[in-house]
Amino acid sequence: MITGASRGIGRAMAETFAGAGYDLVLTCLRRIDELNALGQALENTYPISCRCFAADAGDYEEISSLFTRVDRLDVLINNAGIAHMGLLQDMTPRQWRRVLATHLDGCFYTCKHAIPLMLAQGSGHILNISSIWGNVGASAEVAYSAAKGGVNSFTKALAKELAPSRIRVNAIACGVIDTDMNRCLSEEDMETLRREIPADRLGTPQEVAALALQLIQSPGYLTGQIITLDGGFI
């Protein structure tokens, strides 16, 4: 299962995991037509099945409904996310709650339903897509940074809880990745960011997807880790 799979990192992961032979359950918030088209294309290209659903990651009832249609799950990737840029003093409580619900509550909702499925089969892997801002914080992105910091702690704590059950929990802390989420930044801001990255470029969704697959297929002793993918930025 990959949440937030209609575009960007989620879409790249869907393509990468389909190419590796994984049957898929993909979710999105609103772009269901795009997601259905992606699912059909993946089924036509690879010998896999792909089911697509519209589900708000930050809505417990919608996630509960989604899991009534899932009876087996080997891998859960919590990727759904939204951005919010602006001064904290200008942020409304509703905007704050929306960012925290999508990024952090969403991990709780999916994991709460996925864990029993993984316990029943004696194994599983949960991978949370986080951010370097969860490690160090970002000015004008306080809610996003707080949410991703919570995701990192969530990952480490849940890994300890589930390790005896052979369920691994890890996260990727992404640097600046070339996705639509960064389109709110001006060309000048993006160029400033690029100059601060030692690799002298933004990361690609495909690089995140490749690392995700490597982590899922890594040795079973690897759990509770926040793997940074940032071109040397932090």
Active site residues: 144
| DSSP state string for 20-59 | TT--EEEEESS-HHHHHHHHHHHHHHSS--EEEEE--TT-
Listing DSSP states for 212-234 in one string gives HHHHHTS-TT--S-EEEESTT--
Which residue bears the tokens 């949410």?
147
CA angle 102, 104, 108 (to 5 degrees): 105
Q: Which residues contact 2 (CB under 8 A, 6 or more apart)?
A: 10, 13, 14, 17, 24, 25, 26, 27, 77, 79
| Other C-beta atoms lying within 10 Å of the C-beta of residue 43 | 16
Alpha-helical (H) ranges within the chain are 8-19, 32-45, 60-67, 93-100, 106-121, 133-136, 142-162, 187-196, 205-216
- Choose among 4, 2, 9, 8: nearest CA to 50: 2
Strand partners, 174: 131, 229
